[in-house]
Every structure is written in structure tokens, then in C-alpha cells.
Structure 1
Amino acid sequence: MSEDLTGRRLGHYRIDGVLGKGGMSVMYRATDVRLGRKVALKVIAEHLTEDPEFRERFVDEARNTSAIDHANVVPLYDFGEVDGLLYIAMRLVDGSDLASLIKGGPLAPARALTLLGQVAEALDNLHERGLVHLDVKPANVLVTSRESAGEHVYVADFGLTRRGATGHRTRGGDFLGSPTYAAPEHLRGEPVDGRTDAYSLACVLFACLAGRPPFQGQVPEVIQGHLNREPPRLTEFVALPPAVDDVIRRGMAKNSKARYADCRELIAAARQALLAPARMPAAAPAAPANRAPGVAPPGPAGNGHGGFGPVGHNPGPLPNSGTPPRPMAAPAGLHSSSADPVRLRPPVPIGSSTAFTADKSGNRWVAPVLVGLVAIGLIVAAILLFTSSGGGSTNEQQDPSVPNVQVGPTETGAQPTTSGGRLPTSLPIRPQSSR
């Protein structure tokens, strides 16, 4: 263990307290007394001060960090050595790290993607410069909400960052990094590249959405998980779209060539799986014109409860929703008030004298039916009256201008009727009036 330097001066930096400790260094909160600026001061662990390899790695970290000018990489302010102690001064991020946020439980998918999208931008920028971070984990993702309207992310700790495919183990062959989020090729000491960091980012994505890393247990068990086991299904721990399991499976493929090409592509695939709008089912087909009486017309797609069904059918609250069902909308053509929705009655059996009605609005059909019946009666009466009066009478005075047509024997041969009268021998033909 290194001696706590709190309260001491290291060059022009006053050390105010410990922020965290790692295997190679201790991170302090400090003040640059020349500028009056708060900084994060990373000091190499004292037991490694005399180790040439670790001193070299510490210097490499300073050089690599200073070479990366990106909004999502912690800015480096200063680097030096005082009394045999190497230090790196960098921006003090006023916030928390992702590991602390996950301790409170899984993050909302939208928030996780927003944060990790920034991590992906920083890592891909690193890879474009020929560097590999090799220590991507929640503790090295710093989150602050004090520098912008939203949450801003900084990727930190470039102590293992290497240029090229080798150099990620000690000269003695020891593994450097965090096995919980390490790619198989990193664990085996094989060549690494940007897809190695992409594997670790897929593990971090799993941890953000599940609230735990993909493999847990003792270090040997975790390593065997990364080397030989398929990642667990994320949907076994949280209710998420099943497509996200495919994203994790590809992101954590054992063969680096089967993974996403870069970190941006990984996050884009996760965003598509988690946030893409669900496809709406096809609209219900139109009801046939000969729909049986009493059958309600099909309701609109989506009846307010996430499903499809006839209008007036209330399936009740959704499972685990905790909210009572909302009233269903009345079908088109039926009047209803917002306070008392209309529900249709069941179909009327054939032969029944009960008319098809709606609970609230059926009475409005009675008046039109009665008016129709009265109108039909008046029309029939008018026809009968016209018929009885339009046949003409044999006793009315003959119009000399109207010709007569012979219809029977002459007057002398007229036959008697059953009532005792005589049948007329001719009928007058009246021309149609021009008016």
C-alpha cells in the first residue's frame, strides 16, 4: 500500500484527499496553487517507483492522453516528477463514475445509450490513432451534468493504452486490466485491436442494462466465462426487446472478426434494438356489407389497451399496470357522452320482436319509424280515394266532344246485370288534361 499523501505538497500541487486507488497509482483531489484550480492528480504507486517498466508505462499514459484531443476524453493539464514520484494532473470531473450509477440498479435504455454513445465516440477516435484502451469498464467512465444541459461523459485512465497489437502484458507475462470486462484475446495475451475495446464496451452495455456484469464469481470463473461460455441472455434479467440479446451476442463474440466493426456500430445496433418503434399490426379488414344485425363494426387498430377487439369490449387493465381500464370509445354513428360510453347490446335472435338498440340512444329511432308509418298510411289512403273517384259515373252528363266506344250489344240487346240494371253499351273516352 502506498503512503497517503493527503496534506502534502507535490511541486505546486496541494493534495487535498484521496479519490481512488488502483494497482499502479493513486488518484488524489488536489489544488494547483499557481492557478487556484482544482485538479485530479494521479501519482504512481510508491512501491512501483523503482520499477523501470511501470515508470515507462506511466510516462506512456501521459503521452497517450495528451495526444488525444477529444470532447469525451479527460483533458491532461500537466505531467512531471517530484522527489522520485511521477504524477499526471488532469481535469477534475465533478460527477460520478458509471460503476456508482449501476450500483443503484439498471439504467433506463435511453440513458444508457446516451452515455455509451459518447464512450463509443471517444474509443473509435482512439482506435483511428492506432491506440487501444484495454481497460474499458464502468469505473473508467466519468459522468457529469455540470458542464452541459445533459450528461457529459469522459473516458479516463489510459494507463494500459497501447499502440499496436502487443505490449498489453508485463514483461513477465502478467495480465494487466480488469478480467470482468476483458476480451478473450486480451486474456490470452494475443494481438489486440479496436474490436477488443468493442468487446469490453458490449460487456459495459450489458452491465448498464442488467445492473450486473455478464459473468460473475471468482476471477477464474469470470475468465472461463469470457473464454468458453456464451454470454447470458440479457432478457433473462430485465424486460427488454429480444433483439438486444442478438446485439450482446455479436458484440461479445469469441472471434473478434465476428464482432461489430467498431464501437459506433455496436451502439447503433443496440439503439435500433432497444428504441426503434414497434411495428404496428395490420388494420382489421373491413366488415362485409351483410353483417348480421346486432354485430358491432370492427374497432380501430389499437383499442387503448394494446390489443385489438370489437368496440365495446373492455379487456380490463393490463397485467401489472396498476391502473383501471379506461372506457372504450363508442362506434361511429352512435351518440355518447364522455361520461357514459355506449356499449352495444348482444345480437337479437332471429324472430325476436326486440329491436336492435343502443342503451343511451335507441329511443331516437322510434319517432322516425312512426312518422314513416303514418306517411305510408296517408299515401295508401290517397291512392284508394283517387281510384274510387276516377272511374266516372254513367249518370253524369255526357260531354258532346268526348267520343263513345261500343263495348257491348246495342241498347235493345243489353244484358241485365246481377243487380237488375243494364250494362252500358258504350263508355266515354276522356283525353288526358293538358294542365
Structure 2
Amino acid sequence: MSEDLTGRRLGHYRIDGVLGKGGMSVMYRATDIRLGRKVALKVIAEHLTEDPEFRERFVDEARNTSAIDHANVVPLYDFGEVDGLLYIAMRLVEGSDLASLIKGEPLAPQRAISLLSQVAEALDNLHERGLVHLDVKPANVLVTSRESATEHIYVADFGLTRRGATGHRTRGGDFLGSPTYAAPEHLRGEPVDGRTDAYSLACVLFACLSGRPPFQGQVPEVIQGHLNREPPALTEFVSLPPAIDDVIRRGMSKQPGQRYASCRELIAAARQALTAPPRPVAPPRPQQTFQQFPSPQQQAPAPRPVPQPSHASHASHAEPVRLRPPVPAGSTAFGKERSGNRWLAPVLVGLVAVGLIIGAIFFLSNPDDGQPPQQPESTGPSIPVGPGSGEPSGGSKPTSKKQLPSISVVAPPSS
């Protein structure tokens, strides 16, 4: 604009101040002095007034806006031209736009879905009339809480709205709109339809939930992102259910046929993804501790790959105890654990042998009548054996100084 119109009269409107500026127009706060009503007055930039194409677009905006009777579309009051300046008078929405609410910080998911569901209703109503908005972005979403108990949404700025698949670029081939939220087919100059707005709404959803648009940087970088790159995962920036990444990925598909069929369907899928329970996480395996010995009737637990604390120990860090299998009856168990008692077996065997020898000596020394043998003196003679009168042959009286249990046997003399 060559000058600020604040304080001037434009027809029956008194211009009170500037609400915002765009590339093609300036939005003023004004008063309709006939009705005493506050309005938002959109005035086309002076340097575009003489351009037939922009004049045509401005008139189309007025006609398209007035033809839409929807609760989430800013109502149009008046349209005209005064002193060579084209203007559109519409409802003054007391509040802010969605871009001001974000300010680099994400909105609560429930709030974002509540606001964007109203945007989806307005856009689908537009699409049912054969129109495409082509400039869906947070700055064109007005939010007010003065008209109802909850936040109410108005979709504004229908300056690029077109019917059918034509008019999304200037006659010179220049792109019109915001590339930050533009669909690939809009950037390439291809035919557009309602799915083009649905792509932009998916980008706005990303911005509401993360506090930033999906692609950032200089304009060429942003355009290349929309044309050639997959959208970043939303869960890389905020903690949300992973299913929302699938919704954003489908909503921002490069091919219109792979996107959601309507804006309502996109927001419904986002609502379901954000309210879905998180992926289940396997609970940690509890550490088993035993405070008493298991009963004999208790079935032994199945073997586990991870060593567990000993059933016979009360300490949580005790070493496991190995139970030795029972020893069969009648057998002697001498294992490696009893290697220090290896001498016991030979001693027992020797004692048994000595006992058997002593028993044999007593048995042989008993007489036939079964009388117990008399204990010989340690210095007595040896026992003579033979037919003689008891005298030893040869007149000799041999004596034996050996002590029992030694036995001396004398063979009988030859006849």
C-alpha cells in the first residue's frame, strides 16, 4: 500500500486501524457508520487495483465468500469500490488466529483436534460446492471464545479460492499462496481439488501438534520438501502415540489418490490415533524369592534359562544348592566329595579278615565232645600227637616257647 488508510473514510466505513497486511491486500478494523457495527474491511493493494487479473480475483473472492453460508466461514457483509479502491466488509472476529496460538509451542492434542475439526467442516462444505480454498494455513484460521462457551473457528481469506482445476496460478505462471503449507500439485501447477486442501490441513495439524511446520528453511528448501521428501515423524518432536505418524504420512502423501478422501476423514483418523492406548510394554519379570522350603507335594518348577535363587536359601544372592540323587539300598556311596575317607574301606576289610581268622582258630581248637578248649599257658609245652605212652620218641622232651595261637603238629613215627 502507498499509504495507511487509518483515520480515513472509505464510503460509509470509518477506518480505525490495521489488523494485518498481506501480499495483495490490507485488513483494517473499521466501523460501519450507518449501522454502528464493527467490521473487518479488506482493501486491495493500490498497485494491484489497475491489474485486471487481480481485480477479477478480488471480485471472485467476494462472490465465493458470500455464497458460502456456514458457521465456520466468516460472513460477508458488503463489497464495493470507492475512489478506485476495492473493498470487502466482513464480520470482525474478536480473538486471534491459529498462528498466534501456536507461537512455536504445540497445542494440547484435544484442543488441536477440537479446533481443526471445525476447519474440516468448513473446507468440506466448500468442496461440496466445487470450490478449493488453496490457502489453508494457521494465519487464515481465526479463533474466538466470545461467541460461545467454547472456542469457535472461522476460516478466512478466500482470495485464492477457485472453482474446478483452474486459476491456482497467475496468468504469468506465478505461484499464489503460502508454500509452507502448499500441496505438491499446487506447487507444480497441476489440477487441484478438495484433496489439495486436505494436504494443507495435514500440514496445519502437524504444526498444531509440534509447534512448527513440517518443512522449514528457505523457500526453495520448503518447496523441495513438499515435492520430494517424506514428512518427518511427528513423534520425533513430541511424545504422542505412534499411530499419529501414519495419519500425517497419509495426509501428506505426494499422490492425491493416496490421501484421505475428505478433511473430515483426516481429522477423524487423527482423533482416533491420538486417543488410542500406547503400545503395550511387557512388564519386567519378577524376581522369585522363597521364604520356606517347598512342600513334598509341590511340583518342581520347570527349568528356566536364567538361574533362579536357590529354593533352600533365604538369601537373595545365595549360590544354588545341588541335590545329590538318593543312594540305592545296600550300596556304599563314596564319591569325590568324600575323597578324604578313602582309607576307611581297606581298614574295614582288614578287620573283617582278622575276625574270620580268629573264628577259624577257635573252631579248630574245640574237642569233639564240644567242650570248650582250655586256655594253655603262654609257657606250656607243645601238644604231642602219636600212639605212644605220652612220651616223645627218642627220649627227648622238646618244648615250644611259641605262644598261642600258633599250632605245632608232630607227625607219627613210622612202624
TM-score by length of structure 1 reads 0.66
- Aligned residue in 2 for 1:141: 141
Secondary structure of 1:221 counterpart: helix
1:173 aligned counterpart, secondary structure: coil
Q: What's the CA shift string for 1:158-191, capped at 9, x where partnerless?
A: 0000001111100000000000000000000000
Q: Using the alignment, how far apart are the partners of 2:115 and 2:2 within structure 1?
A: 33
1:349 aligns with 2:292: yes
Task: Output one character per residue of 1:389-414: Cα deviation in whole Å (capped at 9) or x when no partner.
Answer: xxxxxxxxxxxxxxxxxxxxxxxxxx
Aligned-partner Cα distance in 1 for 2:281–2:240: 20
Q: 2: CA distance between counterparts of 1:231 and 1:280?
A: 26
Q: Distance in 2 between matches of 1:106 and 1:186?
A: 27
Does residue 159 of structure 2 align to residue 159 of structure 1? Answer: yes
Q: Distance in 1 between matches of 2:197 and 2:231?
A: 17
Paired with 2:41 and 2:112, the residues of 1 have a C-alpha distance of 28
* Shift of residue 277, structure 1, vs aligned partner: 4.3
Deviation digits for residues 34-78 of structure 1 (CA, Å, limit 9, x no counterpart): 111110000000110111110010000000000000000000000
RMSD: 1.9
Render the CA deviation track for 1:274-331: whole Å, top value 9, x for unaligned.
013458799xxxxxxxxxxxxxxxxxxxxxxxx6887xx9xxxxxxxxxxxxxxxxxx
Residue in 1 that maps onto 2:73: 73
Residue of structure 2 equivalent to 1:113: 113
User: Per the alignment, do residues 218 and 72 of structure 1 end up closer, same or farther by CA in structure 2, a change over 3 Å counting?
Assistant: same
Amino acid aligned to 1:18: V
Within-5 A mapping of 1:49-128: 49-103=49-103, 105-128=105-128
Where does residue 187 of structure 2 map in the other structure? 187
- Structure 1 distance, partners of 2:265, 2:160, is 24
Q: Which letter does structure 2 place at the counterpart of 1:350?
A: F
Do the aligned residues in 1 keep the contact of 2:241 with 2:276 (CA within 8 Å)? no
Q: CA deviation at 1:208?
A: 0.3
Q: How many residue pairs were aligned?
A: 295
Shift of 1:349: 2.8
1:174 aligned residue: 174
Q: Give 1:65's aligned amino acid.
A: T
Tell me: CA distance 1:81–1:247, structure 2 relative to 1, closer, same or farther (3 Å).
Answer: same
Aligned to 1:318: none
Structure-2 separation of matches of 1:192 and 1:348 = 74
Letter in structure 2 aligned against 1:195: R
In the TM superposition, what is the alpha-carbon distance from 1:346 to its structure 2 partner?
5.6
Instruction: Give 5+ residue unaligned stretches, structure 1.
Output: 283-306, 314-344, 353-435
- After TM superposition, give the deviation of residue 195 of structure 1 in Å: 0.1
Q: 2: distance between equivalents of 1:122 and 1:154?
A: 8
Please give the alpha-carbon distance, in whole angstroms, between the structure 2 residues aligned to 1:49 and 1:274: 47
Deviation readout 1:380-434 (Å, 9 max, x if unpaired): xxxxxxxxxxxxxxxxxxxxxxxxxxxxxxxxxxxxxxxxxxxxxxxxxxxxxxx
CA contact (8 A) 2:39 2:90 kept: yes
CA-CA distance at 1:3 after TM superposition = 1.3
Q: Secondary structure at the match of 1:124?
A: helix
Match of 2:44 in 1: 44
2:238 partner letter: V
- The aligned residue for residue 17 of structure 1 is 17
Unaligned 5+ segments in structure 2 are 296-415
* TM-superposed deviation, 1:131: 0.1
SS of the counterpart of 2:19?
strand
SS at match of 2:134: coil
Deviation at 1:347, TM superposition (A): 3.2
Q: Partner amino acid for 2:46?
A: E
Contact kept, 8 Å, 1:243 with 1:273, in 2: the verdict is yes
Identity value in percent: 88
Inter-partner Cα distance in structure 2 for 1:221 and 1:281: 39
Matched, 1:263 2:250: no
Alignment check: 8 A CA contact 2:27 2:43 kept: yes
| Amino acid in structure 2 at the alignment position of 1:2 | S
Give the equivalent residue in structure 2 for 1:29.
29
What's 2:393 paired with?
none
| 1:222 corresponding residue in structure 2 | 222
Larger Cα Rg: Structure 1 or Structure 2?
2
Q: Distance in 2 between matches of 1:192 and 1:264?
A: 18
Report the equivalent of 1:199: 199
Report the Cα distance in structure 2 between the residues aligned to 1:242 and 1:115, rounded to whole angstroms.
Answer: 22
Conservation of the 8 A alpha-carbon contact between 2:241 and 2:278 = no
Q: Does structure 2 retain, via aligned residues, the 8 Å contact 1:115–1:152?
A: yes
CA distance in 1, matches of 2:152, 2:94: 11
1:285-304 alignment runs, 5 A limit? none
CA shift, 1:350, in A, is 1.9
> What SS is found at the alignment partner of 1:77?
strand
Task: Tell me the residue number matched to 1:329.
Answer: none
- Aligned-residue offset at 1:146: 0.5
Paired letter, 2:230: E
User: Separation in 1 of the partners of 2:68 and 2:277?
Assistant: 37
Partners of 1:269 and 1:164 in 2: how far apart?
Answer: 27
User: Could you say if the C-alpha distance between residues 11 and 228 of structure 1 is closer, same or farther in structure 2, counting changes exceeding 3 Å?
Assistant: same
Which residue identity lines up with residue 292 of structure 2 in the other structure?
A: P
**Contact 1:3 1:46 survives alignment (8 Å):** no
Deviations 1:12-46 (A, max 9, x none): 10000000111110000000111111100000001
The 3-state SS of whatever aligns with 2:241 is coil
Say if 1:171 and 1:70 are closer, same or farther in 2 by CA, change over 3 A.
same
| Alignment-mate amino acid for residue 348 of structure 1 | Q
Say if 2:199 and 2:251, in contact at 8 Å, map to a contact too.
yes
Contact 1:133 1:197 in 2 (8 A): yes
Q: In 1, distance between residues paired with 2:259 and 2:94? A: 34
Give the conservation status (yes or no) of the 8 Å contact 2:104–2:212. Answer: no
Question: What is the CA–CA distance in structure 2 between the aligned matches of 1:221 and 1:277, rounded to whole Å?
Answer: 36
- Give the Å deviation of 1:245: 0.5
Q: How far does the alpha carbon of each residue in 1:102-161 deviate from its partner, in whole angstroms, 9 at most, with x for none?
A: 105100000000000000000000000000000000000000011011000000000000
| 1:401 aligned residue | none
Q: After TM superposition, give the deviation of residue 2 of structure 1 in Å.
A: 3.4
Q: Quick one: distance in 2 between partners of 1:42 and 1:254? A: 34
